[in-house]
Chains A and B, each alone.
Chain A
Amino acid sequence: MLVPPETEPQPLVFLSPAVGSPSASPLLVSFSFQSPSSPPGIAAFYKQLIRAVSQLPNTLDTSAIHLRLLDICDSSDICPLRRSEEKEPIFPGRILSGRHSSTSHAMLAFGSMIGRKFSSATSHPLRVCVVGSGPAGFYTAEKMLKAHEGAEVDIIDRLPTPFGLVRSGVAPDHPETKIVINQFSRVAHNQRCSFFGNVSLGSSVSLSDLRQFYHVVVLAYGAESDRALGIPGEELKGIHSAREFVWWYNGHPDLSNMTLDLKNTDTAIVLGQGNVALDVARILLRSPAELATTDIASHALDALRESSIRKVYLVGRRGPVQAACTAKELREILAIKDLHINIKEADLVKNPADEEEMKNSRIRKRVFELLSKASSKSGQTSGQQELDFTFFRKPQKFLESDDRKGHVAGVHFEKTTLKASGDSGYQIAEGTGEYEDIKCGLVLKSIGYKSIPLDGLPFDHSKGVVLNSKGRVIRACDDGEHEEGLYVCGWLKRGPTGIIATNLYDAEETVASISEDISKGELTSRKEGREGLVELLESKKIKFVTFGDWEKIDCEEKRVGSLKGKPREKLTTWEHLLQVITK
């Protein structure tokens, strides 16, 4: 078999005779590369080797493998390969003395690779199941695969599509943030990793099933619910959580039927000033023509095209120094064309504790500076859309419309002032007893996500997280013991905060805990792993979605998208998603 070079200079990797041929003994593996001192050449060479080896059947006898070095000419120009004397066959894992030290590294790596490949076929692998395929799930899988060469990692997700909030949370006009999907896809392509979509923890498979099948179960199913304000009128029509709005414009199949009325009002109030709040405000205010070139769900684009919303309030309980957004998102919304920004000068006056907060936090300082700069911009022109940063307001109740029964007509706010909370330097909002109403026809609550507890799982309801210590799930009783083989990562572990990269470090911590427990001799019993899961799913007639199936969905979405000048047109219903797979 020949793995052809893609571009010059590229290595060539030959596996001969043809892999899979019954007469393939001994297997001869020869390789060479051009301009070996060039880093791109070496990196590509490694990748070629890995690819070639991954295609070897597991049944081959390691002792039958011989490596042969093909020498090449020194010129860095593209030149024909020249065969040298055949070097002595080596046993996998041994360094073959090469002409160039890089060659030797490659040989060493290759040898260990082959040894690893075959050893994992004969021993009992560590069986790992990750629940949830968002950033926390994928980073955990990646780090487990890296840390445990024998581990087999299965990722389950209740949706037929992977990537969690990278698909259904990241705003459609932030394509660069979604690039991390490439990395996650590489993890999913690892031959020791499998994706099982359309498998729901609780209904398709129980936690005890998973713990029976796997040595390690890592829960990374995030936060699929919302915090509530708990104030009167919260059930009125026209009030949604920001999560619902985000899922809706991102084509999450659970919310494809949501009706969102954007036509009967010119004002929306967003409660909260974090990045999610800025995202939803930006989607409401950005020109639909610009959004049309993103992967926004078509039902959302249609609704936004007909939207009559001209003014959006972003309301925070505290001041501009405490605004929870990051500079990038703030800069972006402030840069929307023809958007008038309202920020009250009086709100920008800082107290000494504010100064201290800014001194201690670079991001708070930079966000404040952006807000100050925006407030000093010139006056409004008529017909312009407006964005109002409203600080020091705490929602007290929602007001019902007189003419539209059961529909929201505004929010009754109490004005607040900042008060120190202990000695921490942290300031909280305290009501002043003064009130103000703001009229609106749409409210989006962006006050935080909430994880959903699972039966039998120790849960801290006040923090909305699974009880854990460095990712080990702790029993609800006070003995401090952890649940063997049960771990948690991501929002379910630390609460719904942080950026995608936060999960990288979070996963590192959880995987370190797992590794420590393994080294202590826990998790040694024999487990069925993937076979057990597949058998159970088949017995329950649950049609799980593989990563290959997802790639069919991916292709279809990109195909339809390209016809409309979008990077993809998301399939937004369960029926469509599952239909594409069975095609």
Chain B
Amino acid sequence: MYKPHIGSCGSSTIMFISKFSRLGAQAFKGLSEAPLTTPSRRSFFPIVQNAYSDSLTRKLFSTTPTDNPQGENKDNQKISVTFFDKDGEEQEIKVPIGMSMLEAAHENDIELEGACEGSLACSTCHVIVMDVEQYNKLEDPTDEENDMLDLAFGLTETSRLGCQVIAKPELDGLRLALPAATRNFAVDGYKPKPH
């Protein structure tokens, strides 16, 4: 479970800092890579395949750690995950096997809320898996996770809670989008009842 470190200064400052460090990260990338482009929003909403191709995809894409070409690499205990924030800005991070995406996002100062700290009592760590193949490699959401996803803003067919997506070798290269919250708030007429 995610246990935040409580400092004498608020999380807002941490978030502020993260903006800066991200700028920094981009500046460094810029030296060696092509300029960053804003990813297309279209790719955020993939379509889930039918049951048949679903299981086929699972077989085709499922790998074991030993299949991993990077198996000998010292990074073999970590996978690469790229987060796309509300503005489409991307940030690639390394996530140790076994760590949840919520935890990983917080370790890397990615602005993913986690109001209940991974106890399956809120939907604030909602992420959208951008590749359906990757989505299909995940265990099916439990009833409890689905109950929370019911309340997530901007729900898609490949939505999950970040706290329930745990890094495993076959998820290397996972791409996760954070829902464009404000936009969805404005257009989403659905208002669930309070607790």
Contacts and interface: CB of A to CB of B under 8 A. Distances in A.
Interface of A: 37, 39-40, 42-44, 46-48, 50-51, 53-55, 95, 101, 104-106, 108-109, 112-113, 116, 142, 145-146, 149, 165, 169-171, 174, 176-177, 179-180, 182-183, 185-193, 274-276, 279, 324-329, 331, 361-363, 366, 494, 496-502, 504-506, 508-509, 512
Nearest to A102: B21
Nearest to A145: B12
B193 interface: yes
28 contacts: A46-B18, A46-B109, A50-B17, A54-B8, A108-B23, A109-B17, A109-B20, A179-B115, A180-B116, A187-B10, A190-B9, A326-B151, A327-B143, A363-B190, A496-B194, A497-B194, A498-B194, A499-B151, A499-B195, A502-B192, A504-B115, A504-B124, A508-B182, A508-B185, A509-B182, A509-B185, A509-B186, A512-B182
Closest 7 CB pairs of A and B: A190-B10, A505-B185, A176-B121, A274-B193, A328-B147, A176-B119, A145-B12
Nearest to A496: B194
Interface string B4-19: 1111111111111110
Given A39-B104, A179-B116, 14 more contacts: A40-B107, A43-B5, A50-B13, A106-B21, A145-B12, A145-B13, A165-B195, A179-B115, A189-B8, A189-B9, A326-B151, A498-B194, A505-B182, A508-B185
A109 B190 contact: no
Contact of B14 (A46, A274, A500): A46
Nearest to A223: B194
Nearest to A188: B10
A501 B115 contact: yes
Interface string B71-87: 00000000000000000
Given A176-B121, A186-B11, A327 B147 contact: yes
B176 interface: no
B106 A43 contact: yes
A497 B189 CA distance: 11
Interface of chain A: mostly helix, strand, loop or mixed: helix
A190 B153 CA distance: 28
A188 B123 CA distance: 23
Contacts of A104: 24, 28
Interface residues of B, number: 59
A33 to B, nearest CB: 14
Contact of B20 (A40, A108, A276, A324): A108
B170 to A, nearest CB: 21
Contact of A43 (B20, B107, B123, B182): B107
Contact of A47 (B5, B150, B153): B5
B117 A179 contact: yes
B107 A39 contact: yes
Contact of A55 (B8, B15, B25, B186): B8
A142 B23 CA distance: 22
Contacts of A361: 190
A46 B17 contact: yes
A505 B153 contact: yes
Nearest to A506: B185
| Residue among B117, B122, B148 facing the most chain A CB atoms (10 A cut-off) | B122
